[in-house]
A = this chain, B = another copy of it.
Amino acid sequence: MFAVKSGALVSGGYILVVDDEPAICDMIQTCLELAGFKVRLSANGALAHQMIINDRPDLVILDWMMPMMSGLELTRRLKREDATADLPVIMLTARTEEDDRINGLESGADDYISKPFSPRELVARVRAVLRRTNALVDDVPLTVGQLSLDRSAQTAAIAGQAISLGPLEYRLLEFFVLHQNRVFSRGQLLDRVWGGNVYVDERTVDVHIRRLRKALAPEQQDEMIQTVRGAGYRFSPVDSSAKES
């Protein structure tokens, strides 16, 4: 379970904000702290570099335009040095300029926000990136309850017992595990699991859901995958639904 919903960071680490404009820094710090994150500031690129190497913050928010060392330069250096390979970075770009955006993303930033931005947007982006990367960090043991996935091997196991899944079933399961407690329509699943422009009967999803359920059923409590009538499906392992009639 990721503590992301409440805003707290899993590792108890902090978010590093690298920007030389005090006003922006202030605003970001306030927003993020209100949202429950720990924040540290740095106005100096080189210094930030040190902090990153030493502390390994959970996330870096980086201004693209800075006097000493540009944000772009910094991300490039970080990605190159590789020690911080999977450090999530959000870039602050000056304005909605295509060029900046592209550069930022190419140099390894995970997301970008163009100034000016709303506090809500900031927090949303931060959460989104953390959610993504938290899920990705532990590339090997992706586990929830009795269920564990091995992403590199594309296999799943329940209580240590490997279960056999077709490729599609596996991807479906992985997608669900990465997006727990959310309802996805059949269309969305076709988009994101099947992979885009497919002309496939939406009912096909049902069939694969069924297979997945069948594979998951023997051990764990049944209702890992719940049907949301008229809407789609939802994966939530700790199901604690109150029954009444």
Contact = CB atoms under 8 A, between A and B. Distances in A.
Number of chain A interface residues as a range: 35 or more
B101 A191 contact: no
Number of copies of this protein chain within its complex: 2
A94 interface: no
A150 B181 contact: yes
A240 B162 contact: yes
A109 B243 CA distance: 42
Interface stretch (A47-55, A66-74, A198-206, A226-234): A226-234
A108 interface: yes
Given A191-B1, A242-B163, A153 B183 contact: yes
A118 interface: yes
Contacts of A108: 118
Interface string A1-13: 1110100000000
Nearest to A168: B230
Given A166-B229, A231-B167, A110 B101 contact: no
A139 B123 contact: yes
Contacts of A150: 181
Contacts of A3: 187
